[in-house]
Structure 1
Amino acid sequence: MDTPLAVRARGITKSFGEVVALDEIDLDVAQGQIHGVAGPNGAGKTTLLGLLLGLAVADEGRLEILDSPVGRTLDAPGGVAGFVDGPGLYPSLTARKNLAALAALRGGDRRTADIDDALAQVGLTDVADDRVRGFSLGMRQRLGLAAALLTRPRLLVLDEPANGLDPAGKKHVHGVLTRLAAEGASVVLSSHRMDDLEALCSEVTIIATGRVVFTGPLGKLSAESQELDYRLITSDADTAHRIAQDTPGIKLVAEPGSPAWKDTGVLVVRTLVPALDELVVRLVRDGVAVRELAPVVSPLEAAFLALTEQPEQESDR
């Protein structure tokens, strides 16, 4: 049985004058899934998220959100919350009063306990009574997420939610999003940070110049389909170098004589996953311990660069 969809988009096109921001975009987001949207500046990510939040309407195509068709008028679909280009907040109000005011604007009167719970979830309890004008970018992002949580969304749409976050803030945000998905809510988020997408998302859609160039599980972007550079540190660098030279499919990028080798005894090899697996088997068989083995660039980032390589534009659409 197919998983129910929170978002179903077919042939979505959106233009601003002569600029085509989205060109026949298809998108499926399953219920209970964290779905990433990635792409270079100007790809159309923000435009797509704006359509999901009811901040814009498509020129052509069909869009269904939470089983309801989206029409041609500006309207936030029920059960949807989030933000694009950063959350809208009142700088002169405290974090707690911001949430109370935003809840009132939405026609609700959330209890103090609900507001305190939302602040606690994003790690802002200690600054709940501080004015927002003094908040860092990361704190504003977390407060925007807290505001969205007050609506108990079934679909959460976030534009660069990790922007400006320190490690503690990142931990809070990741925890909130993972919990929401586990409880059945769907999350669509855009990010330039490939590590966030890899840590959170089960599927990702990559957009370039307004078109989908890839969509599907992260596993489809694994290193098995392309050569990647891997950093290798072992208990015996000289023996590892010899074995690597003799393993079919392994190309040495950094080896004896290179700065990396001189300083740390690091080997950098370029290969596909099957040949890398064979190299590890041979190392272990010869009594060489593998202390570190990791891609120099993550498989998702490598795929992203390969799929979207183009001149960098100044700003996102």
Structure 2
Amino acid sequence: MDRRRAIRARGITKCFGEVVALDGVDLDVAEGQIHGLVGPNGAGKTTLLGLLLGLAVADSGRLEILGTPVGRALAAPDGVAGFVDGPGLYPSLTARQNLAALAALRGRDAPTTPIDEALEQVGLTDVADDRAAGFSLGMRQRLGLAAALLSRPRLLVLDEPANGLDPAGKKHVNGVLTRLAAQGTGVVLSSHRMDDVEALCSDVTILATGRVVFSGPLSKLAVESRELDYRLLTSDPPAARRLAAETPGIAVAEGDALVVHALVPALDELVVRLVRAGIALRELAPVVSPLEAAFLALTEQQEAAA
């Protein structure tokens, strides 16, 4: 059964003077889906996120958020929370005071339980009474996420949420986003880190020069017709290199490490030959991830066309 749409955008255009930031952008995000938004600098990602958060309005096109058409008012639609260009915090206030102030600005009471619950979700309970001025970049990002969670959003819009996070912090935040999606919250996150997008997102939209050059499941980017470089680590590198050179469709790169350039079917045939020869395959990984390879190819094509 199809999930309801958290976002439906058709033909969204936004200009700043003579600069076309968004040019006929379509976007679909389902409730309960974590959707990645990637693109080079200047592609229009921040502008699109701002539209979703009610920080700007489109010049033309139609935008529906949580089933409601977005009008011309500069206001975040009900049920939407998040941040662009990093969360806005009061440096002189503690983490708890920041959340209480934000709740008050939204016209709501600030009971202790929801605030403490939000701090616990993002792993900031131990520093709840420390001033934000002393927080690292990663801690500020987590506090911004806690602020977004206060309203129990049905759509969460985040700009580089993993920025500045150490591995433990990233794991913690990823767990929060995964749980929210499982509970039905739609999540849109922008990131320059392809590994973060691949770890979290089921679907991705790639922007270049204000236009969508791809939108859909990540699995479509890993099509078998795309040649990639793969790194192999085996129990017998010299024998594995000889087998690779003898396998049709395999190009072996020069160097000490065994790196091959191949389509997926040829790579599968090489793995079969290694197993038959009794050579243990200890590692097989793309040198550049399928998402990153597609990102580079698609954005370079669009920029060349523009």
Which residue of structure 2 lines up, in the alignment, with residue 222 of structure 1?
Answer: 222
Match status 1:189 vs 2:189: yes
CA shift for structure 1 position 30:
0.6
Which residue of structure 2 lines up, in the alignment, with residue 277 of structure 1?
Answer: 268
Percent of aligned positions that are identical: 80
Which residue of structure 2 lines up, in the alignment, with residue 299 of structure 1?
Answer: 290
Please identify, of 182-191 and 102-111, the stretch whose mean Cα deviation from structure 2 is larger.
Answer: 102-111
Unaligned residue ranges in structure 2 (runs of 5+): none
CA shift for structure 1 position 2:
3.0
CA shift for structure 1 position 153:
0.2
| TM-score (norm. length: structure 1) | 0.94
Unaligned residue ranges in structure 1 (runs of 5+): 313-317
Q: Which amino acid aligns with 1:142?
A: R
Counterpart contact for 1:223–1:272, Cα < 8 Å: no
Q: Secondary structure at the match of 1:225?
A: coil
The CA deviation string for residues 245-295 of structure 1, in whole angstroms up to 9 with x for no partner, is 1111100013xxx2xx2xxxx310000111111100110011000011101
Please identify, of 160-169 and 43-52, the stretch whose mean Cα deviation from structure 2 is larger.
Answer: 160-169
Segments ≥4 residues shifted beyond 4 Å: none
The CA deviation string for residues 88-117 of structure 1, in whole angstroms up to 9 with x for no partner, is 110000001000110111111132121111
Q: Secondary structure at the match of 1:152?
A: coil
The CA deviation string for residues 195-223 of structure 1, in whole angstroms up to 9 with x for no partner, is 00000000000000000000000001105
Which residue of structure 2 lines up, in the alignment, with residue 315 of structure 1?
Answer: none
The CA deviation string for residues 177-235 of structure 1, in whole angstroms up to 9 with x for no partner, is 00000000000000000000000000000000000000000001105231111110111
| TM-score (norm. length: structure 2) | 0.97
Aligned partner (choices 294, 300, 305) of residue 309 of structure 1: 300
Q: CA RMSD in A?
A: 1.3
Q: Which amino acid aligns with 2:230?
A: Y
Which residue of structure 1 lines up, in the alignment, with residue 77 of structure 2?
Answer: 77
CA shift for structure 1 position 126:
1.2
Counterpart contact for 2:32–2:181, Cα < 8 Å: yes
Trace 1:132-281 onto structure 2 (pairs within 5 A). Answer: 132-222=132-222, 224-254=224-254, 258=255, 261=256, 266-281=257-272
Counterpart contact for 2:208–2:302, Cα < 8 Å: no
Please identify, of 101-110 and 26-35, the stretch whose mean Cα deviation from structure 2 is larger.
Answer: 101-110
* Number of equivalenced pairs: 303
Structure 1's 119 and 144: CA in aligned 2 closer, same or farther, altered over 3 A?
Answer: same
CA shift for structure 1 position 241:
1.1
Which residue of structure 2 lines up, in the alignment, with residue 60 of structure 1?
Answer: 60
